[in-house]
Structure 1
Amino acid sequence: MGLFTKDIETIDDLFAHQLQDIYYAEKRIVAALPEMIQKSTTPELREAFESHLQETKNQILRLEEVFRLNGTEPKAVDCPAIDGIIEEADEVAGEVADKAVLDAALLAAGQSVEHYEIARYGTLIAWAKELGKDDCASLLAETLTEEVAADKKLTAIAEQGVNRAAA
């Protein structure tokens, strides 16, 4: 049928659908992070993933509050984008024998996830503001701030040693 269901007719419908999409994505990330933590060999990378796992659990709770503020029950819809990012990370990680290169691959996968989330949350915030849902926008902005910080942390880890060790 296409990208969206026929039930999406307004930006409010689109906002609700994208909330369901990111809700699915966050839950999928919580399920994927433990394996990424286990495979990481660089202590800084492992700590970053562990920290973000807890942060992501809190982001799910925050999303559930956004659903309530929006007058709907939390519900997830499949997110092919995050499924693809995670599946690609699993494939690449399964093919890498060199632990230093594996850490670089895991780090790159983590950043792909962060960039997807940054794009999605930025859009949701803009739509929430347009719809006069400033309370939702505020909660979503908290999460966006965390996602940007996680991306910067991963960049620093890459630049301060993981990429060099992999090279």
Structure 2
Amino acid sequence: MGLLSKDIRSLDDLLIQGLGELLYTERRISKTLAVLAGKVSDPALRHDIEACQAAGSGNIAQIEEVCRRRDCRPHVTESPAIDGIFISEEELAGEIDDDHVLDIAIAGTVHAAAAYTAARYASLIGRLVGVGRPDCGRLLQAGMTHHQRAAESLRLLAEKRLTPRALAKVGRDPVVVAIAS
């Protein structure tokens, strides 16, 4: 028996465990994003975080629909990976005094959560298609695409807006810094 889940004896058990972990992940992200949105100073970052949070309920509904179609009831399984991403953010945020630097740290955290979650979706989609349930895989496609787009949007926001803003605040020219790197 696993530390956080029951024994996995078959591919079906693995799918059910994966769906339960994805449910936990989406719920954890939604809850945490509400807190993070209140910590940021950049309006574009707040907008991206709130958009991610708004998509969460639709993603959860899709996962639940996959469970209904497969006639399974997944045990919501904690995800040490997603918990670790957010625990790391909490510890780091407590050490940051500058609002612009905090925005970059939070963008990085949300980016990491989105990238991790997109990978979890991709794994489950592949398994579902592999066991002859492409209909269920298609249901999860929107969640995967949402997280992939969110990760890319946050990466670009940090690169093109948040980092230059933080550098300008301390009098460093972002172009000179980029060339020197």
TM-score, shorter chain, exceeding 0.5: yes
When structure 1 is superposed on structure 2, of 40-49 and 85-94 the one drifting more is 85-94
* Letter of the 2:163 counterpart: N
1:9 aligned residue? 9
Greater Cα radius of gyration, structure 1 or 2: 2
Instruction: Report whether the alignment pairs 1:128 with 2:123.
Output: no
1:67 aligned residue? 67
* CA distance in structure 1 between the aligned counterparts of 2:32 and 2:160, rounded to whole angstroms: 25
Instruction: Report whether the alignment pairs 1:30 with 2:30.
Output: yes
* CA distance in structure 2 between the aligned counterparts of 1:34 and 1:116, rounded to whole angstroms: 19
**1:73 deviation in Å?**
2.7
**1:118 deviation in Å?**
1.3
2:117 aligned residue? 117
**SS of residue matched to 1:110:** helix
1:89 aligned residue? 89
The answer as to whether partners of 1:23 and 1:75 remain within 8 angstroms in 2 is no
2:170 aligned residue? none
**SS of residue matched to 1:104:** helix
1:139 aligned residue? 139
The answer as to whether partners of 2:25 and 2:82 remain within 8 angstroms in 1 is yes
The answer as to whether partners of 2:115 and 2:151 remain within 8 angstroms in 1 is yes
Deviations 1:9-52 (A, max 9, x none): 11111011011001001111111011110001111000000111
**1:2 deviation in Å?**
4.2
**SS of residue matched to 2:160:** helix
The answer as to whether partners of 1:20 and 1:77 remain within 8 angstroms in 2 is yes
* Letter of the 2:63 counterpart: L
Deviations 1:94-143 (A, max 9, x none): 21110000000000001110111011011001000111111110011111
Structure 1 runs not aligned, ≥5 long: none
* CA distance in structure 1 between the aligned counterparts of 2:166 and 2:136, rounded to whole angstroms: 41
**SS of residue matched to 2:66:** helix
* CA distance in structure 1 between the aligned counterparts of 2:45 and 2:119, rounded to whole angstroms: 23
Q: In percent, how many aligned pairs have the same letter? A: 35
* Letter of the 2:147 counterpart: E
**1:4 deviation in Å?**
6.6
* CA distance in structure 1 between the aligned counterparts of 2:163 and 2:114, rounded to whole angstroms: 18
**1:7 deviation in Å?**
2.8
Instruction: Report whether the alignment pairs 1:77 with 2:74.
Output: no
Structure 2 runs not aligned, ≥5 long: 168-181
* CA distance in structure 2 between the aligned counterparts of 1:54 and 1:135, rounded to whole angstroms: 24
2:20 aligned residue? 20
* TM-score, normalised via structure 1 length: 0.94
Distance 1:160 1:90, change over 3 A: same
